Chains A and B, each alone.
Chain A
Amino acid sequence: MRATLPNRQDASWRISTDRPSRQRVIIRPSLLLPILLFIFSFAINLNHVGSTEFHPDETRWINRAHYFTDLRDPFGPTWKDQYITRGQPPLGSYLMGLGLLVQGRDTRTNNVWDFAYGSEWNSLNGAMTSDDDLRTARRTNAFVGAVTVVVVFLFVNAIGGLLAALAAGMLLALHPLQIWISSQALSDELLVMLIALALLAIIKLAEKPTRARAIMLGILLGLGGATKLSPLLLAFALAMYGIALLLLASVGRTNKHKAEEIGPLLMIQPAIAVGTFILSYPYLWPDPLSRTWNLFELRAQEMTGQSAAWPGVGVDNPIDALGRIYDRLTWQFSTTGSILEAVVGWFRTPTSIWGFDLVFALLGLATLTMMVVRRGLTSGTALAAFLLAGQAGAIIFGMQVDFYRYHLPIVLATSILGGLGVSMVWRLLAARGASRVWNIVPGISVDIASAPAPKVAPGQRVKSPAAEDVDATRESALRTGIRS
């Protein structure tokens, strides 16, 4: 048995016998890496399930696990207009219920935790969740967190290639905030997974604009709304993007054909997302508009209330929010900081090291901007960038309270951008022959042979290095069709 790594882009690792045969096992990195990432991330998250600090919010989500089983009676008392149904959209509760049931527990758990009283009062009144329920619910989120890492890998692979995808996946899987929330029983990880899935879906929609793919995107945004409301607003933003595309196409400022295909599919996103959102929550059925309004209203009131109750975490304006994000993701939670701290820790020198995830993210932002400009506004890259910017923007502009979990969607964005940034740095270093640094090691000799850039006539189609995969016959046929 021998394994060979072909010297080509997007290679497959083919394991075959020495005798040529039609039957062989092909291990594609694009298939193997997400599996490994999933196992890696799931293991890390599970490892933290027992040690992550308890948050009273977890009891609320576990308490509402019965929503899942109460779906059998969508007109029952659970779904009446009351504080608890107005408090949060339901998908996180469904997830908790599903997780408990799948792991052999039932959905009748603890009472509702009242934040007006302390732990003792709540514990006495049955609002403290049992250890078993807590661990079970946390394991559910550990799974969701690992799936999120895989979806991020798939998304970044689709726009930036394998190295960027691997870097993004690792940055997210090792991110302390991601690990923390993936080992708590909250709904934020589900939100981030749905946003990542929506990013992937929008890439697929741009690749092939069909109604089925548009519906899939709308459903994901609707489910995102059913988790934390804000993705619902992204559907409206996408609709406006669709209108803008059509307007630009009408004046010849973008790819007319594709804009006319994608624009209408983006414009119907609010209808699909809102429909999904309403369908997912029986509480909304009797009066969809005013009760949806109730949900947004209560969230706004609670944010205001929390801001007043804890002045230290109140956020005054978007600039303040950006400052909070910088502090949180540089000093408190960062993958690079954690890794460096671990490395320094090996030398028994405990210290707090600042992370530079945001530096990679800024490089990634520049890369993504370049990609959007080059690929055009109708490209999947542009649509996904818009979606990602919309979610991050909603947090920056909507943040009134600086709670750690509100930063998780920003971590998603910085991981994706960080992956692109790492990839860009790698490429630049490689282009400048950085591997020659190994020459300082005795016994190693690295020689970079620089190839001259090909001369290409104006308007001529050229092949990228990536396209060397193309079969010789195909290349020959392609050249036949070159317009010159």
Chain B
Amino acid sequence: MTTSILRATIAATTVLGVALITFHIVGLLTEDHDAWDIFAPVQVAADPVTVRPDDLISSKNQETLRKIVKETRGFGVPWSIYVTTDEAENRDTPPDTWPEAIYDETPIETSPDARDGLLLAVVVPTDDHTATHAEFVAGENFFPEEGITPERLQEIVDVQMAPLIEDNRISAAVIEGATWLEWTPLFQPTPDQPPTELQSGLSDLLHPLVTAAIAGLAMLVLVAAAVITWLTRRGRTATVVGKLNAITAAAASIGRVDAPVLRAIRGNDGEVGAMAADIPAETAIPDAGADHTELEPPSPSAYTQSHRSHGYETMTTRPEIEDDLASRGVYHPKSVVYTWWLSIISGSGLVIGLMGLVLSVLGETVPTLSASIALTAVSLVTLIWNASRSWTTNAGRRALHEWNHDHKPSQDDDWLLFDSIVNTDTYRVPTTRIDSPAT
């Protein structure tokens, strides 16, 4: 088995393995098992629907009502419907007090004495159905229940049920009321609850002092970044010592002695041009039909092998070269220190910002949340930028400008070396081959 076949087999197996694991996780996440029930259905001993006398509402409509109540109980709302006539009840008290009495006599609750249920009681006068009294009665512990509020319950009675009752359509009114009761917890927004003690305390603590402090820290991170940029660029000398060559010009252009600069200095290909390095030796031998554009990216070492006199033959480590550039005024001598300081400031800002995020969410404090988001974002961006921030001074930039002025693009080997260092830290793949007809 050749290496390329082995690699392809390993690649395919790996991809297949990772895919299978991923799909297994997806399967686990989407599996419908018993432990999952976000609606938390409730069990209520009371009958879903009671109608007295039984022929007051047709059996078909009663079935519809039962279905609605069961569905709503399935969404976690413990409730029942009780429809009766004045004759069936035979009470001495006024009919508008009967709903409370009915609720007390047949409590609707999820456990004994929980008092957490809701009753839709409808009392129909025998002589005049249009004078029917409908009312929702809630146990002391019923609210909060998602979107259901006393106001919305009253609105269901007044707006949805009352017109139908006036039309003497009692069954339709009860079904409409039940339908809206089912709709309300699902689709009406849950009202804000009064803040807890923790929320109030945290909110008082966070705003305005902590908010101002966090916003101030965000400003501090920005100011620190600006000051350190200014200090770095100002440098300590007006001009650089000596002249730049292709490698030092590239280091000035990049602002750091990064991997491509080091590779150019060492004359070591490393892995620059990853596609070439990623292709086994035998496939690197092109044939007439092969796609060999991946072999194309030039590496700095390709140039330095014919361009050895770069001045760093005796220095190979990053700090050595950075120190040399700093001593010549290309970089600021305190660049490393400045970078550490800015990392500490922005890193601290990030941590404090994240803590502020958590605290402001717990305290539900919008101003602190806004300030924390700002601090987190500013700190994160600064931290990332600082990791590759240019250390080149103004003197270094001027020297680079002069060097660029003296070397026209594509005109000499120095420029090519400079260009290869500056641009080959990417793993770019020329891709025109696939759509290039042989004609």
Give the B-binding residues of A (Cβ under 8 A): 9-10, 73-78, 80-84, 86, 111-112, 114, 116-117, 157-164, 206-212, 215, 233, 236-237, 240-241, 244, 248, 253-258, 279, 285-286, 294, 296-301, 303-304, 367, 371-382, 386, 389-390, 393-394, 397-398, 400, 420, 423-424, 426-427, 429-431, 433, 435, 448, 450, 453, 456, 458-459, 461-467, 471, 473-474, 477-478, 480-482
From the candidates B187, B288, B437, name the one contacting A84 in the complex (CB within 8 A). Answer: B187
Task: Please list the 6 inter-chain residue pairs (A to B) with the smallest Cβ-Cβ separation, ordered nearest first.
Answer: A481-B302, A430-B437, A376-B278, A453-B288, A257-B271, A163-B435
Give the chain A neighbours of B281 by CB distance below 8 A: 459
- In the complex, the answer to whether B439 meets A397 with C-beta atoms within 8 Å is no
From the candidates A296, A367, A372, A427, name the one contacting B436 in the complex (CB within 8 A). Answer: A427
Give the chain B neighbours of A453 by CB distance below 8 A: 287-288
Complex: how many Å from CA A82 to CA B190?
7
Nearest Cβ on chain A to B318's Cβ, whole angstroms = 16
- In the complex, the answer to whether B435 meets A80 with C-beta atoms within 8 Å is no
- In the complex, the answer to whether B22 meets A237 with C-beta atoms within 8 Å is yes
Q: In this complex, what residue of B is CB-closest to A157? A: B431
Complex: how many Å from CA A303 to CA B31?
11
Given contacts A208-B425, A257-B271, A296-B30, contact A431 B189 (CB under 8 A): no
- In the complex, the answer to whether A456 meets B275 with C-beta atoms within 8 Å is no
The B interface is mostly helix, strand or loop, or mixed, namely: helix
Give the chain B neighbours of A212 by CB distance below 8 A: 384
- In the complex, the answer to whether B274 meets A300 with C-beta atoms within 8 Å is no
Give the chain B neighbours of A461 by CB distance below 8 A: 276, 295
Residue B298 CB within 8 A of the other chain: yes
Complex: how many Å from CA A482 to CA B298?
10
**Contact-size category for B:** 35 or more
| 25 pairs, A vs B, C-beta closer than 8 Å | A80-B191, A207-B428, A211-B384, A244-B18, A257-B277, A258-B274, A297-B36, A300-B31, A300-B32, A372-B11, A376-B278, A379-B274, A394-B23, A397-B23, A424-B434, A430-B437, A430-B439, A450-B438, A465-B433, A465-B436, A466-B433, A467-B293, A473-B416, A477-B303, A480-B302
- In the complex, the answer to whether B14 meets A377 with C-beta atoms within 8 Å is yes
Give the most central of B27, B31, B187, B387: most A CB within 10 Å: B187
Give the chain B neighbours of A256 by CB distance below 8 A: 271
Q: In this complex, what residue of A is CB-closest to B388? A: A210
Nearest Cβ on chain B to A409's Cβ, whole angstroms = 14
Complex: how many Å from CA A116 to CA B71?
11
Give the chain B neighbours of A464 by CB distance below 8 A: 291-293, 295-296, 430, 433
What would 10 more interface pairs be, CB under 8 Å, given A258-B271, A303-B30?
Answer: A80-B191, A161-B435, A215-B384, A255-B274, A258-B277, A393-B23, A398-B26, A431-B439, A473-B410, A481-B305
Residue B1 CB within 8 A of the other chain: no
Residue B361 CB within 8 A of the other chain: yes
- In the complex, the answer to whether B435 meets A427 with C-beta atoms within 8 Å is yes
- In the complex, the answer to whether B429 meets A380 with C-beta atoms within 8 Å is yes
Given contacts A159-B431, A285-B361, A296-B29, contact A208 B426 (CB under 8 A): yes
Complex: how many Å from CA A303 to CA B21?
22
Nearest Cβ on chain A to B424's Cβ, whole angstroms = 10
Q: In this complex, what residue of B is CB-closest to A8? A: B432
Complex: how many Å from CA A279 to CA B277?
40
Give the chain A neighbours of B299 by CB distance below 8 A: 481
Residue B427 CB within 8 A of the other chain: yes
Give the chain B neighbours of A114 by CB distance below 8 A: 183, 186-187
- In the complex, the answer to whether B303 meets A481 with C-beta atoms within 8 Å is yes
- In the complex, the answer to whether A379 meets B285 with C-beta atoms within 8 Å is no
- In the complex, the answer to whether A297 meets B433 with C-beta atoms within 8 Å is no
Given contacts A160-B431, A303-B30, contact A80 B189 (CB under 8 A): yes
Given contacts A161-B433, A481-B306, contact A83 B186 (CB under 8 A): yes
- In the complex, the answer to whether B11 meets A161 with C-beta atoms within 8 Å is no
Give the chain B neighbours of A112 by CB distance below 8 A: 186-187
Q: In this complex, what residue of B is CB-closest to A431? A: B438
Nearest Cβ on chain B to A117's Cβ, whole angstroms = 8
Given contacts A76-B192, A162-B435, contact A233 B32 (CB under 8 A): no
From the candidates A83, A164, A477, name the one contacting B435 in the complex (CB within 8 A). Answer: A164
Give the chain A neighbours of B373 by CB distance below 8 A: 279
Residue B19 CB within 8 A of the other chain: yes
Complex: how many Å from CA A424 to CA B435?
7
Given contacts A240-B21, A464-B292, A466-B432, contact A379 B426 (CB under 8 A): no
- In the complex, the answer to whether A211 meets B387 with C-beta atoms within 8 Å is yes
Q: In this complex, what residue of A is CB-closest to B369? A: A74
Residue B146 CB within 8 A of the other chain: yes
Residue B102 CB within 8 A of the other chain: no
- In the complex, the answer to whether A390 meets B411 with C-beta atoms within 8 Å is no
- In the complex, the answer to whether B274 meets A257 with C-beta atoms within 8 Å is yes
- In the complex, the answer to whether B14 meets A248 with C-beta atoms within 8 Å is yes
- In the complex, the answer to whether A393 meets B19 with C-beta atoms within 8 Å is yes
Q: In this complex, what residue of B is CB-closest to A243? A: B18
